[in-house]
């Protein structure tokens, strides 16, 4: 599935995230039901690679068909970083499908960065040389390793949806934190994406704060590639 990301300013679709869905015998299964198992038994490495290959294929198809193309981000489990040469397989895919690297982004969770800082620093240096960008996923959800941010040259902070799922009493405090994250990201030359945004009110607040992108049900839910094409790149 693809979930669109919208520009906060123009409210146009400018990118998307690839999110896995499993079509089982009894219907669709969401990643929360199998990702943690796959992280325990190692199968996540195959899954991430598969989703990445599908993404490369899709981008190269859009280019071939002269359709509108946007940057697609894919999730990378922390386990990948324990395998020293995993990036080589990914680079092979990029070359195989002749994907311009400007259309690819990797999402790495805050917790992975906390665990494997040095490997992730090396990884980011390498992908930057290739023209690929990288975002810190679920930022603010765990041990926000502010100390690590000074070493990690990521391009984008994805502000976790937890800040937007709150009751009235906590609202003000949550928004102060989001505002500070956006401000900090700007000072670090990083972009911000707000995740899990479900209401117009939140969109308006994020606009005022200068958050760059919004990903959430307010604009669009994750959808099949077919639906995505029908909605956005008919050309």
> Residue 57, SS3?
helix
Select from 25-33, 55-63, 81-89, 125-133 the region that touches ligand C2E (CB under 6 A). Answer: 25-33
**Choosing among ligand C2E, Ca ion, none, which partner's interface includes residue 140 (Cβ < 5 to 8 Å by kind)?**
none
- Using CB under 6 A as the binding rule, the residues of this chain from 71 to 110 that contact ligand C2E are 75, 77
DSSP string of 124-173, one letter each residue: HHHHHHHT-EEEEEEETSS---HHHHTT---SEEEE-GGGGS--HHHHHH
Assess 44 for contact with ligand C2E (CB under 6 A): yes
First to last CA, the chain: 20
**Choosing among ligand C2E, Ca ion, none, which partner's interface includes residue 77 (Cβ < 5 to 8 Å by kind)?**
ligand C2E
* Sign of the C-alpha dihedral computed for residues 93, 97, 100 and 104 taken in this order: negative
Assess 138 for contact with Ca ion (CB under 5 A): yes
Asked if 127 contacts 106 with a C-beta cutoff of 8 angstroms, the reply is yes
**Choosing among Ca ion, ligand C2E, none, which partner's interface includes residue 105 (Cβ < 5 to 8 Å by kind)?**
none
Local structure of residue 42 (DSSP, 8 states): S
Residues of this chain that interact with Ca ion (CB under 5 A) are 75, 107, 137-138, 195
Residues of this chain that interact with ligand C2E (CB under 6 A) are 3, 19-20, 30-32, 35, 44, 47-48, 51, 75, 77, 137-138, 161, 195-198, 215-217, 222
């Amino acid at each position: 599935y693809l979930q669109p990301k919208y520009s906060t300013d123009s409210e146009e679709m400018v990118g998307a995230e690839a999110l896995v869905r499993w079509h089982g015998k009894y219907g669709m299964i969401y990643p929360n039901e199998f990702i943690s198992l796959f992280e325990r038994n190692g199968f996540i490495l195959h899954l991430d690679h598969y989703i990445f290959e599908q993404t490369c294929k899709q981008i190269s198809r859009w280019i071939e068909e002269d359709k509108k193309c946007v940057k697609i981000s894919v999730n990378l489990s922390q386990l990948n970083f324990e395998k020293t040469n995993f990036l080589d397989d990914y680079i092979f895919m990029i070359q195989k499908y002749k994907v311009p690297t400007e259309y690819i982004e990797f999402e790495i969770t805050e917790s992975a960065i906390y665990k494997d800082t040095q490997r992730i620093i090396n990884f980011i240096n390498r992908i930057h040389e290739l023209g690929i960008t990288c975002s810190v996923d679920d930022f603010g959800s765990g041990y926000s390793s502010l100390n690590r941010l000074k070493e990690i040259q990521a391009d984008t902070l994805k502000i976790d949806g937890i800040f937007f799922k709150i009751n009235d009493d906590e609202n003000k405090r949550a928004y102060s934190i989001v505002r500070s994250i956006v401000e900090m990201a700007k000072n670090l030359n990083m972009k911000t994406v707000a995740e899990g945004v479900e209401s117009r009110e939140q969109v308006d607040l994020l606009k005022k704060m200068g958050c760059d992108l919004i990903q959430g049900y307010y604009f669009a839910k994750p959808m099949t590639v077919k639906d995505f094409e029908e909605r956005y790149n008919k050309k």
